[in-house]
Structure 1
Amino acid sequence: MVGVQQDQEVGSSVWTVPNVISFLRLALVPVFAVLIVSHHDVWALIVLAFSGFTDWLDGVLARRLHQVSRLGQMLDPAADRLFIFVSLVGLAWRDVVPLWLVVVIVARDVMLMCLLPVLARHGYGPLEVSIVGKGGTFALLYAFPLLLLAEAPGVLGTVAHVVGWAFTFWGVGLYWLAGLQYVVQARKLVAADAAAGAA
């Protein structure tokens, strides 16, 4: 959940208000996929805007209601990544974005997925989302609706195209920078574990 403080107690509850909101966001992913592929752009933008609002809302509620949970810490970034992936595939399907952009973003997530079994063998779970990773995700989640809006004619489409691609390049840069930070962090954890075992 966005903005969760490090010192807040993390619970194991499943049916919390923030988690229900995250489940709702996950349920909207296939709805958004159908809308974007079928060219229902207005409704697709509404779903994206609602998803962005609930992404902010579940973080706020988690802090104020003291309902930060381990499940929520996994659901929220999972919903973000699914929306990014579905947006990318849908926009590429419609030739709004080039295929190389899909490859660049998906390759980063595949790289991080390869770290999970390595970390698991040493008793570690998924690494905590960094502020850089949150920034990259934020930029990409704003970029894709703007690129979709760029299909509109006139000044609105032109401005959305320029701003959308600015967010895209910033997002990709931050996304990969965070990914490399995760790799370095994972190597340090594994090295420290190996050194402790040898001792």
Structure 2
Amino acid sequence: MVSGNDEVSSRIWTVPNVLSFVRLLLVPVFLVFLLRGEDALALATLIFSSVTDYLDGVIARRFHQITRLGQLLDPAADRLYIFATLIGLAERDIVPWWIVAVIVGRDLMLVVLGVILANHGFGPLPVHHLGKLATFCLFYALPIIMLAQALPVTAPVAGPVGWSFAIWGAFLYWWAGVIYAIETVRVIRLPRVESPAESDTLNR
């Protein structure tokens, strides 16, 4: 999160951005491990990615390296890891495909809402706290489910905990999506306020 005193720059080659690029490059590696059933290596890759995710945020805030690119790469990497985990686990029949459809369907809905907002001259909506909570639940649910696969001794605890997070996260994901849809409808119905430049143009 960017505070009021943090300046967002347009730089590309910063340490946090490099860490985000590394995370993105590891997504296909992680997915291959997962599809091959090499759960320990997949889990290790995911843990490494989580650590670099934490570090890039700390470094960006501590050394004032918050960038517009980083604000795009960081959530994109989170989403890709969630999708990769879902696809890998569903392909192995560890999670049902309906969970994949629920989560991917909600994100597709947000893309449509973004297009509608853009067509009406509005930018993306602010992230709702329910959306953040849902992402948090899913981001930790799937590794916990993977832990139960990689280390069967943990399954009696990790399995129920992981599935609880997954189901609750999927519910919150769509709850937040409904809120975004309602807010989109509200925003596009607002009367547009003309800027002075637009008024001058219309009066000529």
- Give me the TM-score of the superposition, normalised by structure 1: 0.88
User: Are the aligned partners of 2:40 and 2:150 in contact in 1 as well (CA < 8 Å)?
Assistant: no
- Mapped partners of 1:75, 1:124: distance in 2: 22
Aligned residue for 1:151, secondary structure, equals helix
Is 1:182 matched with 2:180?
A: yes
* Bigger radius of gyration: 2
Select which of 192, 196, 199 maps to 2:193: 196
Residue number in structure 1 paired with 2:159: 161
The structural deviation recorded for 1:126 is 3.3
Is 1:126 matched with 2:124?
A: yes
- Mapped partners of 2:31, 2:40: distance in 1: 13
- Mapped partners of 1:185, 1:54: distance in 2: 34
Residue number in structure 1 paired with 2:202: none
| Cα RMSD (Å) | 2.0
The structural deviation recorded for 1:6 is 5.5
- Give me the TM-score of the superposition, normalised by structure 2: 0.86
Aligned residue for 1:196, secondary structure, equals coil
User: Are the aligned partners of 1:4 and 1:59 in contact in 2 as well (CA < 8 Å)?
Assistant: no
Per-residue CA shift, 1:84-143, capped at 9, x if unaligned?
111001000001001111111111001001122222223333334333222211211111
Residue number in structure 2 paired with 1:137: 135
Q: Unmatched 5+ residue regions in structure 1? A: none
Residue number in structure 1 paired with 2:110: 112
Residue number in structure 2 paired with 1:100: 98
Aligned residue for 2:144, secondary structure, equals helix
User: Are the aligned partners of 1:96 and 1:148 in contact in 2 as well (CA < 8 Å)?
Assistant: no
Percent of aligned pairs with the same amino acid: 53
Aligned length: 195
User: Are the aligned partners of 2:31 and 2:84 in contact in 1 as well (CA < 8 Å)?
Assistant: yes
Aligned residue for 1:186, secondary structure, equals helix
- Mapped partners of 1:77, 1:21: distance in 2: 13
User: Are the aligned partners of 2:39 and 2:149 in contact in 1 as well (CA < 8 Å)?
Assistant: no
Q: Unmatched 5+ residue regions in structure 2? A: 200-204
Q: Which amino acid aligns with 2:105?
A: A
Per-residue CA shift, 1:166-190, capped at 9, x if unaligned?
1112211222222223223333332
- Mapped partners of 1:162, 1:56: distance in 2: 26
Residue number in structure 2 paired with 1:78: 76
